[in-house]
Amino acid sequence: MSGFKFSIVKKLKSALGRAGVLNTPHGKIETPAFVVVGTKATVKALTPEQVSSLEAEVVLANTYHLYLQPGAEIVRKAGGLGKFMNWTGPTMTDSGGFQAFSLGAAFGQKVSKISKEGPGGYSSILQNTRIPNETRREKAEEAGRLARIDDDGVTFKSHIDGSEHRFTPESSIKIQKDLGADIIFAFDECTSPHASYAYQKEAMDRTHRWAQRSLSSHLAVSPPSEPNGTEQALFGIVQGGRFEDLRRESAKIIGGMDFDGFGIGGSFDKEDMHNAVGWVNKILPEEKPRHLLGIGEPADLFGGVENGADLFDCVAPTRMARNGTLYTNDGKINILNSAFRTDFSPIDENCGCYACKNFTRAYVAHLFRAREMLGATLGSIHNLYFIVNLVKKIRQSILDGNFSEFKEKFLGRYYK
């Protein structure tokens, strides 16, 4: 662990938020920070130089995807994830636990890990009971899934060629050792927001056992004292879904294990998400970094920071960019809307990114309508710059002591 050090620079007075610095063997990350997602060892549509020009500090890739293609062995032989993709800064890999959800309960459904039903909705009905019809329906749906979970691990059917693969906490850690990212995650089970309380509890207990197995297996390969160039930090993942008592229990158990930091995973109720982050972070050890997994909408970044999260990652900026939705200080716009065909102003007047400094909305709209690849590139540059720098500004506001004012001003305009 010698190459890693997390220090808190300044804390909010009336909330859990803090600004800090996370040192890794490949450079420092000033927190709060937005981690750019590069699932398959590439940030889609961008070169590493472009990513780095956005002032992004760290890239997150995915264990499951890289295991399937090109294979962990090839990445290892290349000298590790960073060398392979020519990213010289810090790297992370997610464990593949999210795919237990995205290729499992969520596969082919229109289910996101964020539920918009609210606490009084469908989900709460299921909180303490398991309706027989529900069970039957879930059984029927399982047939079409690409991921099946049991107590020992997850069996995946490759979304690429249909071949079967088995992930366990031990194998996920082994693969992540080969991939060689600076920060790796324990193998967990991300659950659906529609999961019943009973299932959520069952999955959480399983994730806790997997966390211990991930940790043991990590320590067996690289003991904390071992001084070498391949040292990695391991983050445990808190689960518990939408339920406050489970979140607290999970934070207590995972927080009590000897992880280098923590991920906060699983599903949330949209309107209760920020509270949920707070429940967890009040319990997790204060001196270790916390990563709010898969979250990145502007309001959620403010809410996450305020409730003690240090790191965020999210596919939204890049995925939305590729589909024509772009962030502006006045909210999201869809560049494909007809009005933008003749709009010769930048995507966002106040943005300093390469796309905004050099191109117009009309041009970007044309690229998207013509399906030119540069559209995805300019959109991704803009959206990532927007989000990465929003988090940087949030950090600065903590240092300057005006977090609340900045939050109100930004969100007031963004959601106007």
Partner RNA sequence: GCGGUCGUAGCUUAGCUGGUUAAAGCGCUACCCUGUCACGGUAGAGAUCGUGGGUUCAAAUCCCAUCGGCCGCG
Active-site annotation holder among 94, 182, 188, 269: 94
With respect to RNA, which residue has the nearer C-beta, 5 or 166? 166
- Asked whether the beta carbons of 289 and 31 are under 8 A apart, the reply is yes
Q: What separation in angstroms does the CA of 348 have from each of 114, 374, 382?
A: 28, 18, 9
Pairing mode, strands 154-157 and 164-167 = antiparallel
Residue type, 188: D
- Provide the Cα torsion 91, 94, 95, 99; round to 10°: -150
Catalytic residue among 178, 188, 313, 348: 313
CB 373 within 8 A of CB 379: no
Task: Give the separation between CA 97 and CA 191, rounded to whole angstroms.
Answer: 9
103 vs 253, beta carbon nearer RNA: 103
- For residue 14, give the H/E element and its range: none
User: How far, in Å, CA of 27 to CA of 265, rounded?
Assistant: 25
Chain residues that interact with RNA, rule: CB under 7 A: 37, 39, 43-44, 60, 62, 65, 94-95, 97-99, 101-103, 106-108, 110, 112-114, 159, 185, 188, 190, 237, 263, 265-266, 270, 293-297, 300, 313-316, 318-320, 322-325, 332, 334, 336-339, 341, 369, 371, 373, 376
Query: Of 11 and 319, which CB lies nearer to RNA in the complex structure?
Result: 319
CB of 31 to RNA, least distance (A): 17
Read off the DSSP letter of residue 77. Answer: H
Closest distance to RNA from the beta carbon of 325 (Å): 4
* Per-position DSSP letters for 119-155, written without gaps between them: TTSHHHHTSS---HHHHHHHHHHHTT-SEEE-SS-EE
Closest approach of RNA to the CB of residue 74, in Å? 19
Nearest CB to RNA, comparing residues 26 and 145: 145
The DSSP secondary-structure symbol of 349 reads T
> Does residue 108 come out as left (phi exceeding 0), alpha (psi in the -120 to 50 range) or beta?
left
Cβ-based burial of 295 (10 A; exposed 0-12, middle 13-18, buried ≥19): buried
Comparing CB distances to RNA, the nearer of 126 and 147 is: 147
Q: Is 260 a catalytic residue?
A: no
Q: Tell me, what DSSP letter sits at residue 271?
A: G
- Residue with smaller CB distance to RNA, 11 or 343: 343
Question: CB 259 → RNA: shortest distance, Å?
Answer: 13
At closest approach, how far in Å is the CB of 160 from RNA?
A: 8
Cβ at position 93, least distance to RNA in Å: 9
Is 94 annotated as catalytic? Answer: yes
Active site positions, annotated: 94, 313
